[in-house]
Chain A
Amino acid sequence: MDRRDFLATGAVSTAGMLFFPGNLLAKEAKNENKKRLVEPLPFKMDGEWKEFELYIDLHTHEPAPGFKYHTLAFNDMIPGPEIRVNAGDKVRVKFINKTDLNHTIHWHGIFVPWRMDGVPFVTQLPVMPKNEFIYEFVAEPEGTHFYHCHWGTLMHMQAGMFGSLIVENPKDPIKEKFPYEREYTLVYSAHDTNYIREEMNGMLERMKQRSYLMKQGRFTSEQWGVFDNKEQFLASMESGYQPPYVTNRRSNAELPQANWFTVNGKSYPSTPYLFIKSGENIRVRLINAGAETHHLHLHGHDFWMVADDGVPLEHPWKRNTVPLTPGKTFDIIIEGNNRGIWTFHDHDTRKVTNNGLYPGGNLLALVYEDLPADELIISKHSGNPMYNPNAGMGDMKEMDNEKMGNMNKMMFGDDKLPKIALDE
C-alpha cells in the first residue's frame, strides 16, 4: 500500500463512522435512556430530618464514546445525584471529601442559613482533604435549583461538581395549570477538558507539598495565600510577598476555553432523549451549571415558560428558544401536539460540537412514543432519490440492482430513522 492509498483509506474510514441506535421506542432503549438522566439521591429519616450523603472523589468520565478524562464528581456521577425534597423539609447533607483537594457545597437558590451557604472563607472554612462537613437547612423556596462546589469554582464546577436540587410544592401551581405525569431534569455545562486536566494536576501536586508542610506545622498564610484581613495581606506584600495574580503560581495561566458541552454530563451522541406522547404535557427543568450561555431551541413546538430561577411565573408565555445563562434555571412545559422526532439543541451551534467537531455537544431529541414504526422507514416516506434511479439519479442509471442495493445499505444501513451521524 503506498502513501496515497493509505490516505484515501483513512478518509473513507472516517466518513463511514456511523452508529445505529436501534429501535428508540424499544424497552431496552428506554432503559438505556435512564442512564442519561439524573439519578435521585436516596435519603433516610432521622427524626424530622431528611438525611442525604454526598461524597466527592476523582472520577474518570466519558461524555461521549471514545473520549475519557479525569474529573471531579459527586457520588461518582456527573451531574451529581438529584436531591428532591418537599418545601419546608428539614434537610441534612453529610458531605464527605475523599479527594486531596479542598471543597465546599453551595446551595444555589436556596434560602439556607448564611453559615450553610458554602462560600469558603466567607461563611465557612473549606472542607479539607479526607474531611466531612454537615450542611443543614430548611428546603425553601420551591422550584428548580442546584448545588455546586464553591471552592476553586472556575475549575471545580466545570470539572463536574454540580447536581440538581428540586424543592417540590405539593400544591404546585404549575402542575395545576399544566397537568403532567412525567418530568425531566436537564443540567447543562461546558468544559475545557485541557484546563481541567492541567489545573487538577497542578492542584494535586501543590496539595501534596502543602499536606507535607501542614503535618509538620510549617504551613503559613503566605504559602496558602489566605489572610485574616487586608492589613495582614498588605503587610505581607510590603515584606516581599507576591500574590498569585502578580506572578502566576498555578499550572495554567490561560482562562478556560470550553471544548466539550454536556447535558446531564453527556455530549451527543450520548445525550438523553425526552419521551412524550401525543396529548401529553411534560415538564422539563433546565439548569445551567456551566459558564457558557446556551440558546436552547426546540423544533416543531412552542413551549410554555412556567418558572424562572425556580419561581413559578404567574403568567406563563410561549416561546421556542430560550437563552439559559450561567447559574440560571428555567422550567418549561412541552405540549405533545406535533407527533414526530424533534431536535432540541443549543442554537449557538459552536456548542453543538465535541472538541471542535460538529455534530456533538448539546444536541438531543424529543421523541413521540406513539410514533408509528412505519413512519420511521426512510425508503417509504422520505422519497429520497437514492431509492429511485429515475428521480434525480441519472448518473446512476447504469448501476445494476445488486450494486444499488449495496449502495443503499452502505448509505442507510437499517432503513429507518433516527440515526447517529458523526459526519453530517
Chain B
Amino acid sequence: MKKIIYIAILISGLANAQITPEFEIGAKGVFSGNLNFNSEESNAVTDFSDTQLLMGLSQKLYNNWRAQFVLGLQFPDANSNLGEVFYNNIFIRLEDKTNIFKVGRTLAQTNLNEFPTLRDDDAQQFVYALNPFSDGVNTERDQYANVLDYTHIFKQRFFVSIHGENFYDSLEPDDFRLNSMGVSFIYRVPESQRWNRNIVQQIGLSYNNYFTDRPGYSNDFDSSVKNLLFSTILNLKPDPINFVDFKFQAIQNFGWDEITELNDYFDYTRTQSTSLFGTFRYLKQKLERPHYQISIGGGYKSLDNLSTNSNQLLFIANGFYRMGQNFDIGFQYRYTENEGFTQNLFGKNEHRFQLALVYSFSQIFNKQFGDREDLLNLEHNYIK
C-alpha cells in the first residue's frame, strides 16, 4: 500500500511541472591526530569524528512563506553507540519574515553560542545544558533532539522562542514523547551587518525544563531538572582585518537537592551545578578572506551540592591557518582537570594535543530568493 502511495505522489509530481528547489549543501571534514596524556595512560589516535554532511532543499510557498527540508548526517565517535553514521539533522522548517517553525531532529537549544573549538564537543560539559536522560556514552544526545520549535522575531534582532524536545532517553530509547520544554530570548545582530554592529553582537537567555522522574515528587515541574543559560558575544574589536571577539556562556543547573554524590552519569547531569566558559578569539583577515585565527579559552564548573569538592576545570587554546579556500590546518591543546566525584567519572586530568586538517564548505545552488538576513532584506524593504 505504501508503495502505491509513493507512486501516486511521483506521478502527481510529473504531471504538474515543478520548480526545482534551492539546493544547499554543507560539508565539514575534521581529521586530526590526537595525542592524549592523562593520569592513567597515554595514547595516540586518529580521529575524524564531527565530520558531517548537510543537505537542504528550500522553496517559496504560496502566501509568502518559505519551507526548507534538511537532511544531515554525522560521523560520531567510534565508541558512541550511534553506529557508523548518525542522522543529526532531519527536519522541516517553515518561515516568513517574523516567524519560524521547526519540527524534526536538529540542534536543541541547550547551547546558545558557537565557540571556536576544533570540534563542537570539545568543551561539552561546560557549554551544553546536558541531557539528563542520557547515559553520557556520546555527546550527540546532548546536542541533538527531536524538536518542536516556534520562534518569533521582533525588529530583526530579538528572537523569542518556545520549544519542546524529545531528548534521547538511554533507559527508554523507544519513548518519543516530549520530555523537555523551554523558552529563550536572544538579541542577535545579523551576520551580514557585522561591520555596523556595536560591541554587543549577541545576548541570550534560555530556560530549559527537563521532565525527569524524580523520586518522591508527583508534580511535573517539581520533579524536573531546570537549567538557565546566559550567553553573550562581544565584538571587542569589530575590525575587518584584525577582528577580536569574546564569547561567554554560563549555565546554572537547578538540579535535585538530594544528589550529593555522583554514582553515575545521570547523577552528574541531574545534580546542581554552575558552568562558566569563555573564549577570546583573534581573526586575521587578508583581502576580505580569513587568513588565520588564534583563540584561547577556559571553563570552570562547580558542583556545589555534592558532599565532596568536585569542581572541573578546562583550558583550551588553538590556532588555524587557511591554506586555501575551505581548507584549514590547525593545532589545538586542551587540558582538563577533575576533582572529587568528577574525577571518578572522567579521570583526574588530561592533556590533549591535536593536529588537524579541516575542510568546510557551504553553498546554495539554484538560488531563487533572498534570505531574511540579507542586507537587502534587512535594510531596503523585506521582499516576501
Give the B-binding residues of A (Cβ under 8 A).
3-4, 7, 10-11, 58, 60, 68-70, 194, 197-198, 200-201, 204-206, 208-209, 211-213, 218, 222-223, 241-242, 247, 249
Among A4, A204, A247, point to the contact of B376 (Cβ < 8 A): A204
* 9 new A-B contacts at CB < 8 Å, known A201-B370, A212-B195, A218-B241: A7-B12, A7-B16, A10-B16, A194-B368, A201-B374, A201-B375, A206-B288, A209-B240, A213-B241
- CB pair B367 A204 closer than 8 Å: no
Please, which residue of chain A has its CB at the minimum distance from the CB of B377? Answer: A70
Known: A69-B383, A249-B289. A201 touches B240 (CB 8 A): no
Please, which residue of chain B has its CB at the minimum distance from the CB of A204? Answer: B375
- CB pair A200 B376 closer than 8 Å: yes
Report Cα–Cα, A201/B379, bound state, in Å. Answer: 11
- CB pair B375 A60 closer than 8 Å: no
Q: Is B343 an interface residue (CB 8 A)?
A: no
Q: Is the interface of B mostly helix, strand, loop or mixed?
A: loop
Q: How far is the CB of A215 from chain B (nearest CB, A)?
A: 11
**Which residues from chain A contact B374 at a C-beta distance below 8 Å?**
197, 201
Please, which residue of chain B has its CB at the minimum distance from the CB of A253? Answer: B363
- CB pair B192 A70 closer than 8 Å: no
Known: A69-B383, A218-B241, A249-B288. A208 touches B376 (CB 8 A): no
Report Cα–Cα, A200/B383, bound state, in Å. Answer: 14
- CB pair A247 B325 closer than 8 Å: yes
- CB pair A70 B287 closer than 8 Å: no
Known: A201-B192, A209-B240. A60 touches B381 (CB 8 A): yes
Q: Is B81 an interface residue (CB 8 A)?
A: no
Give the A-binding residues of B (Cβ under 8 A).
8-9, 12, 16, 192-193, 195-196, 239-241, 287-289, 325, 367-370, 374-376, 379-381, 383-384
Q: How far is the CB of A173 from chain B (nearest CB, A)?
A: 46
Task: Return the 6 tightest CB-CB contacts between A and B, nearest first.
Answer: A209-B240, A208-B195, A70-B376, A204-B375, A58-B380, A201-B374
Chosen A-B contacts, 25 in total, with CB atoms closer than 8 Å, are A7-B16, A10-B16, A58-B376, A60-B380, A60-B383, A70-B370, A70-B380, A70-B381, A197-B374, A198-B367, A200-B376, A201-B192, A204-B375, A209-B195, A211-B195, A212-B239, A212-B240, A213-B241, A218-B241, A223-B288, A241-B287, A247-B289, A247-B325, A249-B288, A249-B289
Please, which residue of chain B has its CB at the minimum distance from the CB of A249? Answer: B288
Q: Is the interface of A mostly helix, strand, loop or mixed?
A: helix
Report Cα–Cα, A70/B375, bound state, in Å. Answer: 11
Report Cα–Cα, A353/B368, bound state, in Å. Answer: 16
Please, which residue of chain A has its CB at the minimum distance from the CB of B324? Answer: A247
Among B16, B192, B367, point to the contact of A205 (Cβ < 8 A): B192
- CB pair A197 B370 closer than 8 Å: yes
Report Cα–Cα, A241/B16, bound state, in Å. Answer: 51
Report Cα–Cα, A209/B193, bound state, in Å. Answer: 10
Report Cα–Cα, A201/B376, bound state, in Å. Answer: 6
Q: How far is the CB of B382 from chain A (nearest CB, A)?
A: 10
Please, which residue of chain A has its CB at the minimum distance from the CB of B62? Answer: A10
Q: How far is the CB of B357 from chain A (nearest CB, A)?
A: 19
- CB pair A197 B288 closer than 8 Å: no
- CB pair B383 A209 closer than 8 Å: no
Report Cα–Cα, A247/B327, bound state, in Å. Answer: 13
**Which residues from chain B contact A68 at a C-beta distance below 8 Å?**
383-384
Report Cα–Cα, A7/B368, bound state, in Å. Answer: 24
- CB pair A11 B16 closer than 8 Å: yes
Report Cα–Cα, A206/B192, bound state, in Å. Answer: 10
Report Cα–Cα, A29/B370, bound state, in Å. Answer: 35
Among B8, B196, B289, point to the contact of A208 (Cβ < 8 A): B196
Report Cα–Cα, A206/B381, bound state, in Å. Answer: 20
**Which residues from chain B contact A204 at a C-beta distance below 8 Å?**
375-376, 379
Report Cα–Cα, A335/B94, bound state, in Å. Answer: 56
Known: A60-B383, A197-B370, A249-B289. A205 touches B375 (CB 8 A): yes
**Which residues from chain B contact A206 at a C-beta distance below 8 Å?**
288
Q: How far is the CB of B287 from chain A (nearest CB, A)?
A: 6
- CB pair B383 A213 closer than 8 Å: no
Please, which residue of chain A has its CB at the minimum distance from the CB of B383? Answer: A68
**Which residues from chain B contact A69 at a C-beta distance below 8 Å?**
383
Report Cα–Cα, A247/B326, bound state, in Å. Answer: 12
**Which residues from chain A contact B288 at a C-beta distance below 8 Å?**
206, 209, 223, 249
Q: How far is the CB of A247 from chain B (nearest CB, A)?
A: 6
**Which residues from chain B contact A3 at a C-beta distance below 8 Å?**
9
Report Cα–Cα, A69/B380, bound state, in Å. Answer: 11
